[in-house]
Amino acid sequence: MVLNPVIPKLSSKLIVLASASPRRLEILRNAGLRFEVVPSWFKETLDKGLFKAPHEYAVETAKQKALEVARRMPFKHLKTPDIVIGADTIVTVDGTILEKPVDKRDAYRMLSSLSGKEHSVFTGVAIVICHEKEKVDYQLIDFYEETKVKFADLSEDMLWEYINSGEPMDKAGGYGIQALGGMLVEYVHGDFFNVVGFPLNHFCKQLDLIYNHSTSSLDQQNASDCLSLHNSSPSPRPNSLSTSQTHHIQQSSSCSPVRKVGKGSQSEVGESSWRLLNSLSAHTSRESELQDETLPQLTNRGQMTDLGVTQHEPSEPKKEDLQQITELMDGFKASKALFTASKLCVFDLLQSRPGLDATQVAQEIKASLKGTECLLQACVSLGLLKSKERTCKKPVYENTDLATRFLVSGSPFALHGYIQHCNDIVWPLFSHLESAVREGTNQHEKAFGKKSKDIFQDTYYNSQEVKLRFMNAMHSIARVTGKAVASAFDLSSYKTACDLGGCTGAMAYEFTKAHPGLSVTVFDLPAVVEMSEHFQPLHTDNRVSFVAGDFFKDELPKADLYILARILHDWPDEKVHILLSKIADACTTGCGLLLSEIFLDEDRRGPSRGLLQALSMSEGKQRSATEYSLLLKSHGFITAHVTHTDNLLDAMLCIKV
């Protein structure tokens, strides 16, 4: 569409989005742009009071985000991008800039100020173009888009109902027009996508101007336009902002974005918004010095000098060693192939229509033929699909038994929900693993652009969509592991159980199936309980009930047996002791506590699933069976049985003494 004239010129370029916003990512991907996501580390701490107009603040923030990524990537990622895109969206009403609310009270303040009024949504966009020669040069163009939005008069009940949905907490102005927040809006004047978070139409036209209608070479910039990269820090005063940070590019083909920018509907022309930033020569030379200090010295023939170490002819590597190390190196590729095929519903498609060829699959999933062929062939190599050759025809594809059992969304043991969780949450976190290891903390802020004090409230339950996605992930894991955990021990002596943090009730239903005399109460947060009906089986077992509450704060339901499945590893020691103390206080002598987690080997050499999970750097920790036993003993529980199942989770039954 609008990008079509530019796409061929961008196909060989490394384009980077300096934002973790899922909305911006979706908008740009749907437009056909291929790019990587490298969230900016720029702290959005500019003083709003120093800017003459709100759009100047948004543009400056976008510029600093893009420049931070453009500077960092050659050294931290060891590759130089061709284009870096930065953006910042703000809402303004009555001269006040509204960004993301910090809590519910702040969201109430914002939404109250918008009630019944027209307000402006500004998105500042910065495009940094990088030129890598002997040094790295940067060129910058920035612009903004304004959209007018009118809210209806909002009652107190409507305000709090929307705030309690969790949706406002990661949205500028405290609302998301593309989701539940759209119900608050009376009208929109301007670009709808700009309100969502990115002015797509303006951006596409801008790229077209840059690559198809520029009347002067970017490499022939006047030297007087050069600025030192060291001086490209946030502008300390509004009058030091470049006058080139203007509104819309004139849409005349004679107007080069390199030379002239102005307000779209006016003839006013500002000075060039392109600025050539001086190379990183100082940085580059220092990097070279550091490398020279650490590299072995070479002779004038290019051979390594003898550093006093006896050289031995290496033996040929063993085939099994090469295979093991190759599988480890390529493991992330296999995971992403699985995630992508699952997200594109390839397995569901081939379950309903087995025997499709690559062309037919590509048409159904709305993907390129080349990409689809590569994905299908990769899935065949991974044992997820099988292909059948046909004489003089293209091969056709079917699911393997493995895919039918675990990857088709309608399967009783489908892991579709958990795979989506891995793709959307775990994958971004692990892309920052180096930082996680260096800092010893989780990387939610870098991966998702915000800090997370409470992983569940802030990350998983902050919007209806994310909440359902997380619950679906937990539901799919519970269905796969539930039977093994529920049948691990003879629980016939217990009549009532309470599944703490039991989410959708999938585990609870397995317990009632395995033990006909047992009734189970699922105790979880109100936001979870209200959505649990979406996951209940068609023939509801009346022995499973749901109670809303916070197990750290509220009184626990009375029961003979308490179930903790995949709970303790998430929390720091302080909260683990609070929870176990509450359970101990609720128990009488003889009550049971059934714990289900991944039990580490006593020498902590495995299993790798638990040790790899620990790399997420959550506040909690992975433990061995002995460590869990000692932990529970400190709260008056004696371990009666430990079972290492052949499933994803192990189990331990403890008795209150």
What residues act catalytically? 88
Across-strand partners of 90? 122
Beta strands in 152-273 (DSSP E): 185-189
Q: From 198, 213, 193, select the one nearest 5 (Cα to Cα).
A: 213
Q: Angle formed by the axes of helices 369-381 and 319-343, to 10°?
A: 130
Amino acid of residue 497: A
Query: d(Cα 274, Cα 218) in Å, to the nearest integer?
Result: 9
Amino acid of residue 423: N
Query: d(Cα 46, Cα 265) in Å, to the nearest integer?
Result: 30
Query: d(Cα 525, Cα 534) in Å, to the nearest integer?
Result: 16
246 and 270 in contact (C-beta within 8 Å)?
Answer: yes
3-state secondary structure of 389: strand
Q: What share of the chain is helix, strand, coil (3-state, %, to 5)?
A: 45, 20, 40
116 and 186 in contact (C-beta within 8 Å)?
Answer: no
Q: What tokens appear for 332 in the block? A: 């992330």
Alpha-carbon separation of residue 122 from 19, 79, 91, 199, 588 (angstroms): 16, 32, 6, 9, 60
Which pairing describes strands 496-500 and 519-524: parallel, antiparallel, or unpaired?
A: parallel
3-state secondary structure of 208: helix
Q: What tokens appear for 635 in the block? A: 């709260």
468 and 420 in contact (C-beta within 8 Å)?
Answer: no
CA 166 vs. chain centroid, Å, equals 17
Task: Provide the edge-to-edge strand list for the sheet that holds 544-548.
Answer: 544-548, 519-524, 496-500, 561-565, 592-597, 650-656, 637-643
Query: d(Cα 87, Cα 55) in Å, to the nearest integer?
Result: 12
Q: Angle formed by the axes of helices 156-164 and 104-114, to 10°?
A: 140
| DSSP per-residue codes, 407-439 | TSTTSTT--HHHHHHIIIIIHHHHTTHHHHHHH
Query: d(Cα 526, Cα 142) in Å, to the nearest integer?
Result: 44
Alpha helices in 522-635 (DSSP H): 526-529, 573-586, 608-614, 625-633
Q: From 4, 1, 36, select the one nearest 212 (Cα to Cα).
A: 4
CA 87 vs. chain centroid, Å, equals 18
Query: d(Cα 461, Cα 408) in Å, to the nearest integer?
Result: 26
Alpha-carbon separation of residue 17 from 29, 178, 192, 295 (angstroms): 11, 21, 20, 34
| The residue to which tokens 């990537």 are assigned | 73
